Structure 1
Amino acid sequence: MIELLPLLLFAFAFIILLVGYPVAFALAGSGLLFALIGYMTGTFDSVFLEAIPNRIQGILSNELLIAIPLFVFMGVMLEKSKIAEELLDTMGQVFGGKPGGLGLSVLIVGMLLAASTGIVGATVVTMGLLALPTMLKRGYSPQVATGVICASGTLGQIIPPSIVLVLLGDVISSAYQQAQLDQGIFAPESVTVGDLFLGALIPGILLVGLYALYIIIIALVAPNKVPPIPEDERKVSRELWMQVLTVLIPPIGLIVLVLGSILGGIATPTEAASVGSVGAIVLAKFKKTLNFSVLQQVLRSTTEVTAMVFMILIGASIFSLVFRGFGGDDLVRDFLTNLPGGMFSALFLVMLVMFLLGFFLDFIEITFVVIPIVAPILLSMGIDPIWLGIMIALNLQTSFLTPPFGFSLFYLRGVAPDSVSTPQIYRGVIPFIAIQIVVIGLLAYYPSLATWLPNLVYG
């Protein structure tokens, strides 16, 4: 019975989550409840409870995690100051003269917005409100329009700079060091957020390129599904290119500045995120969209997201400590290492479980609860930490797209007009899910897609 306590703890927490309790309190509450039961029955060592204050202090003093509110502020400021709206209008004018051009514009703007926010829900909702009515008005097929918006919105999982990769970088680094200590290496190496950013570049660009190729194929095969913008609504070349210079270059320059300073080792992720936040304020002021009301909305959204992330992180830390106190990590390690097929079977099973959990839990919960348990085990089997991090990001991105429970589908359904049916949204994302699976397969077969660039830059 004692050996089953870790499994009962996990099952109990999952049921509480399905009932609808807030994630942070469900994780912390279930952990503390089982710890109390274990302490009273003599099956739980109180030293793990005594470690909770130190763990929380470690979270609050982690300088890397300060990058989260700063990146969120940067993304929300770009969104609330209508820079995203201007980007969409400009890119629509640039590409809109050809069939599929508006779809490509939505993909590019969605990629930029996803990279700056890193929050799937925010990007999908924003693009759904801005782009979906325009695409439908231009005669786009509802399936194509909704598919492009959902797919581009989930790019925040893999396109740097992204808070997803920041969180993954912190957790994977700790797991990698733990795996090395378990193997008797007492001067463990570390994995940085910059490593994950570099590792995500090639898979991310490949993914966006295949998305764009799919839209181009539709434009060639069925142009009536992705018609061009009428000629009388297009701007003349000189006016258009001036608009491109003033609208497109500044936000792209800001993202390149933030990402380049991290990858070049000039600034830490936290320092680069602070530069990005200030840059977003400057852009909003330059666009004359910055006022007290906008600033208030941005600060409120940033505070809400930051509070959510840190409360979940604290709750997940308590849950993980109690899970380890019951010997749960040893139970998982013995199960994965004894699977027939070795490393491949263990990795496949973990990815499958994460994919299914992605239907019910956001990436933050999965990152803080599941990855700290399984990642040290997988890394001790010889799996590259950068490759593992990118595989997890792509896997969760696919999960968030997959019917019937994908998060991005629910987000878009909430803002889509009644004329767009739920089955149309489901059918629209299927080709993009297939593309995701192709990229995951390529990354699994060619790990160098994720590891080559970090090894080249950092040796």
Structure 2
Amino acid sequence: MLIELIPLLMFVAICVFLMFGYPVAFTLAGVALAFAGLGIAGGVFDANLLKSFPARLYGIMNNYTLVAVPLFVFMGTVLEKSRLAEDLLENMSKACGRLPGGLGISVVLVGTMLAASTGIVGATVVTMGLMSLPLMLKRGYAPSFACGTICATGTLGQIIPPSIALVLLGDVLSSAYQQAQLTLGVFNPKTISVGDLFVAALIPGLALVALYIAYVFFTAWLRPSIIPRVVIDEQEEQVSLLRVLLSLLPVLLLIGLVLGSILVGAATPTEAAGVGALGACLLAMAKKQFCLQRLREVSRSTLQISAMIFMILIGASLFSLVFRGFGGEELVHEFFSQLPGGVFTAVFLVMLVMFVLGFILDFIEIIFVVVPIVAPVLLAMGVDPIWLGIMIAVNLQTSFLTPPFGFALFYLRGVAPATIPTSQIYRGVIPFIALQLLLLCVMALWPGLVTWLPQQL
């Protein structure tokens, strides 16, 4: 009976050590090796399983899909340094100035375009916080609402392609799908690609943007005390359509190159990431924001972020190997199969656990630790892998906003004025978390919202 509890104890140990602030990658690997050593000493773990770990490492090194990660990170970092969003926000805010909550709507729209061109949450939140937060406060927006809008808009990079989370999820779900097929004793040549997830995420991502805009609009209309009607000088407010289009053109061109090449099948996500990285450099050169010093800064930042992601992936791979060696996967499968309600209850429980874990864990940790454990079981129960991937992505998007460890909250706290208390930032994101959960429920009730577009291509 104690042996059956070992996988559960491993998971609890991971959560405890992470809450103490230990590095994620080394915590995953250290806990795995500690339990493996105890298991070998107690005769309940096969030491030969550890011999397969070098092959797993080679598989990570040889994974063509994962090459897209540093390329997308590089692209997003270049765009962050090139100040591409400044002109865009200025022109969009003037164009939307007459609408209730026009500035807030323009923040959502510009954040959406940054998400679709960078895919990095931190870059979007910091950029929008530096540019739009002072302007929103100057226009009389309530600090909590302004902070909530910026944080939530920044998290759109989690679901709107190209998204680093979708790249990582695509790789993990592909392995989980193959494992589920082996469990069922069938062979299906179909694979789960990152491109499939990119296509499937378009409609849910745009639906979430529409929910944000509707919330800002109706809040401005119904509660002018939070978003006052600002009277702008006519001369200042006018902005030509040509000027707006010219500010949109670079971003739309880059989005078209990256996403368009994937959607039409002209390039894989990895190839499109390379095109995007080159396109970002060309845009930075056109704005005269590219030099050797900036390239050095971008390369160093890309290296640090990519190294962190891949070290976590290596640690999670070792954790997953030891977890399965103790029979953890069979334990999870048996638990899910005994739940009343079948697949619905299993999916609901997984989504609930991921949402709760989002309060204390980062999305990368959940993708590499939790998804490899539960995804093969759910896929073997007949759950659509594309639908499951987007459900997980939207769910993990909330982890950026849920206190106390929501990363979007930390990013904005770092650039927000000291006069804005952290409690106001927490209060401001609550309605947007509710909107994300609403979208999650809608996708659960109407899976076609996710699966329709990939079926058309």
Normalized against structure 2, the TM-score is what? 0.96
Q: 2:10 corresponds to which letter in structure 1?
A: L
Q: Deviations over 1:47-97 (max 9, x none)?
A: 220011000110011010000011111111111011122222222222234
Cα distance in 1 for residues equivalent to 2:288 and 2:241:
20
Shift of 1:221: 2.1
Q: Deviations over 1:262-312 (max 9, x none)?
A: 121110111000000000000011111111222122111111110011000
Cα distance in 2 for residues equivalent to 1:352 and 1:266:
38
The 5 A counterparts of 1:97-136 are: 97-136=98-137
Q: Which secondary structure state, in structure 1, belongs to the residue aligned with residue 396 of structure 2?
A: helix
Cα distance in 2 for residues equivalent to 1:88 and 1:21:
39
Shift of 1:354: 0.7
Cα distance in 2 for residues equivalent to 1:191 and 1:295:
34
- Note if contact 1:125-1:412 (Cα within 8 Å) is conserved in structure 2: yes
- Note if contact 2:111-2:153 (Cα within 8 Å) is conserved in structure 1: yes
Tell me the residue number matched to 1:195: 196
- Note if contact 1:387-1:450 (Cα within 8 Å) is conserved in structure 2: yes
Tell me the residue number matched to 1:176: 177
Cα distance in 2 for residues equivalent to 1:293 and 1:105:
32
Q: 1:230 corresponds to which letter in structure 2?
A: I
Tell me the residue number matched to 2:388: 388
Shift of 1:375: 0.3
Question: Is 1:67 matched up with 2:87?
Answer: no
Tell me the residue number matched to 2:352: 352
Question: Is 1:430 matched up with 2:449?
Answer: no
Tell me the residue number matched to 2:236: 234
Shift of 1:98: 3.6
- Note if contact 1:177-1:188 (Cα within 8 Å) is conserved in structure 2: no
- Structure 1 segments unaligned to the other structure (5+ residues): none
Tell me the residue number matched to 1:54: 55
Cα distance in 2 for residues equivalent to 1:423 and 1:255:
36
Q: 1:270 corresponds to which letter in structure 2?
A: T
Q: 1:134 corresponds to which letter in structure 2?
A: L
Q: Which secondary structure state, in structure 2, belongs to the residue aligned with residue 91 of structure 1?
A: helix
Cα distance in 2 for residues equivalent to 1:229 and 1:121:
33
Q: 1:349 corresponds to which letter in structure 2?
A: L
Q: Which secondary structure state, in structure 1, belongs to the residue aligned with residue 361 of structure 2?
A: coil
- Note if contact 1:358-1:396 (Cα within 8 Å) is conserved in structure 2: yes
Cα distance in 2 for residues equivalent to 1:374 and 1:224:
46
Tell me the residue number matched to 2:9: 8
Shift of 1:355: 0.8
Tell me the residue number matched to 1:166: 167
Cα distance in 1 for residues equivalent to 2:224 and 2:236:
19
Q: Which secondary structure state, in structure 1, belongs to the residue aligned with residue 356 of structure 2?
A: helix
Cα distance in 1 for residues equivalent to 2:386 and 2:231:
42
Shift of 1:193: 1.1
Q: 2:273 corresponds to which letter in structure 1?
A: A
Q: Deviations over 1:228-266 (max 9, x none)?
A: 4721672644xx444323321111211122011112111
Q: Which secondary structure state, in structure 1, belongs to the residue aligned with residue 282 of structure 2?
A: helix
Shift of 1:113: 1.7
Q: Which secondary structure state, in structure 1, belongs to the residue aligned with residue 426 of structure 2?
A: helix
Shift of 1:437: 1.9
Is 278-287 or 105-114 further displaced after alignment? Answer: 105-114
Q: Which secondary structure state, in structure 2, belongs to the residue aligned with residue 234 of structure 1?
A: helix
Shift of 1:396: 1.2
Q: Which secondary structure state, in structure 1, belongs to the residue aligned with residue 359 of structure 2?
A: coil
- Note if contact 2:76-2:123 (Cα within 8 Å) is conserved in structure 1: no
Cα distance in 2 for residues equivalent to 1:47 and 1:29:
18
Shift of 1:326: 0.9
Q: Which secondary structure state, in structure 2, belongs to the residue aligned with residue 230 of structure 1?
A: coil
Q: Which secondary structure state, in structure 1, belongs to the residue aligned with residue 439 of structure 2?
A: helix
Q: 1:323 corresponds to which letter in structure 2?
A: F
Cα distance in 2 for residues equivalent to 1:384 and 1:280:
35
Tell me the residue number matched to 2:93: 92
- Note if contact 2:94-2:238 (Cα within 8 Å) is conserved in structure 1: no
Shift of 1:130: 1.8
Shift of 1:369: 0.9
Q: Which secondary structure state, in structure 2, belongs to the residue aligned with residue 147 of structure 1?
A: helix
Q: 1:332 corresponds to which letter in structure 2?
A: V
Q: 2:425 corresponds to which letter in structure 1?
A: I
Tell me the residue number matched to 1:378: 378
Tell me the residue number matched to 1:318: 318
Cα distance in 2 for residues equivalent to 1:126 and 1:351:
31
- Note if contact 1:196-1:389 (Cα within 8 Å) is conserved in structure 2: yes
The 5 A counterparts of 1:287-366 are: 287-366=287-366
Q: Which secondary structure state, in structure 2, belongs to the residue aligned with residue 131 of structure 1?
A: helix
Tell me the residue number matched to 1:444: 444
Shift of 1:400: 2.5
Q: Deviations over 1:98-132 (max 9, x none)?
A: 43111111111111222333232332222212211
Tell me the residue number matched to 1:282: 282
Q: 2:319 corresponds to which letter in structure 1?
A: F
Cα distance in 1 for residues equivalent to 2:92 and 2:207:
21
- Note if contact 1:98-1:229 (Cα within 8 Å) is conserved in structure 2: no
Cα distance in 2 for residues equivalent to 1:428 and 1:216:
16
Is 369-378 or 28-37 further displaced after alignment? Answer: 28-37
Is 256-265 or 120-129 further displaced after alignment? Answer: 120-129
- Note if contact 2:363-2:399 (Cα within 8 Å) is conserved in structure 1: no
RMSD of equivalent CA atoms: 1.6
User: Percent of pairs identical after alignment?
Assistant: 62
Cα distance in 1 for residues equivalent to 2:299 and 2:237:
36
- Structure 2 segments unaligned to the other structure (5+ residues): none
- Note if contact 1:102-1:228 (Cα within 8 Å) is conserved in structure 2: no
Q: Which secondary structure state, in structure 1, belongs to the residue aligned with residue 80 of structure 2?
A: helix
Q: Which secondary structure state, in structure 1, belongs to the residue aligned with residue 387 of structure 2?
A: helix
- Note if contact 2:361-2:399 (Cα within 8 Å) is conserved in structure 1: no
Cα distance in 1 for residues equivalent to 2:11 and 2:144:
38
